[in-house]
Amino acid sequence: MRWELPWKKWREEAPELLRKYKYVLAVLLAGVALLLWPGGEKAPEPAPESPLAVQAQEETFTVEALEEKLSRSLSQVRGAGKVEVVLTVQGGPRRVLARDEKNTRSADGGSEVQSTTVLTDGSGGAGEAPVLVQQLYPPFQGALVVCSDGDSAGVRLKLMEAVSALTGLGADKITICQGKD
C-alpha cells in the first residue's frame, strides 16, 4: 500500500495557514536572510613573533607619555596657552596571568587546591612564556596642571573638566595653577 499526500487538501488549507502564521514566517525568513547575509571577511591578526614582542606590546603605557599627550591636548584649549601636566599614580602596572586550578578531595573529606600558571610555547626559540589574561594599569592619584594663561575661571573650568574626563579624577584631586610667563 502506497501512502499519498492529499494535495487537494493542502492546496485548500495552505492560504489559510499562511494568513494565520504570516508573522511567524516573516520572522523566520528575516532570520534566514540575516544568517545568509555576507559579513565581510576579517583579516586574521598576526601572531606575535615571540613573548618579548608580546611584552613590548603590553607595556606601552607610560605616565610620561600620557602627561605629554595631555599637555599637547590641553594647550589647544582656547585661552590656556602653554600647558604642562604632572600625573601621579598609585603603584605600577599589574599583570594578571592565566592560572590552572585543580581541586582534589582527600579521604578525610578535606579539599586541596593546586594552582599553576599556564605557559605557552614561545615561537622563535624563546622558550615558554606565561599566558597574559589582563594588563591592569594603576589608578590615577592626582593631577597638577600648570598653564601660562590660566588666569580665567572659564579656562580653569574647561581644563578641570578635560583632565577629569580623561583620568577619572574628581575635581578635588586636580589642581590648576597659573605658570610664569
| pLDDT per residue as tens digits for the range 51-104 | 544 444 445 678 888 889 999 999 898 888 899 999 988 877 777 777 777 887
| pLDDT per residue as tens digits for the range 117-148 | 776 766 555 667 777 777 777 888 999 999 88
The reply to whether 71 falls in a domain is yes
The reply to whether 46 falls in a domain is no
Residue 56: what pLDDT? 44
Residues 19 and 72 in one domain: no
Residues 79 and 166 in one domain: yes
The reply to whether 42 falls in a domain is no
Residue 170: what pLDDT? 92
Distance CA 158, CA 53 (A): 39
What is the residue range of 161's domain?
Answer: 58-93+137-178
The reply to whether 43 falls in a domain is no
When the pLDDT of each residue in the chain is averaged and rounded to a whole number, the result is 78
Residues 74 and 148 in one domain: yes
Q: Taking residues 24-28, what's their average pLDDT?
A: 86
Residues 143 and 83 in one domain: yes
The reply to whether 52 falls in a domain is no
Residue 46 has pLDDT above 90, yes or no: no
Domain count, the chain: 3
The reply to whether 17 falls in a domain is yes
Residues 127 and 151 in one domain: no
Q: Taking residues 149-177, what's their average pLDDT?
A: 88
Residues 109 and 174 in one domain: no
**Which one has a higher pLDDT value, 5 or 171?**
171
Residue 172 has pLDDT above 90, yes or no: yes
Strands 94-97 and 83-89: unpaired
The reply to whether 102 falls in a domain is yes
pLDDT band at 153, cuts 50/70/90? confident
Q: Global pTM?
A: 0.51
Contacts 24+ apart (CB under 8 A), 96-104: 96/132, 96/133, 96/134, 96/135, 96/136, 97/130, 97/131, 97/132, 97/133, 98/130, 98/131, 98/132, 98/133
Residue 3: what pLDDT? 59
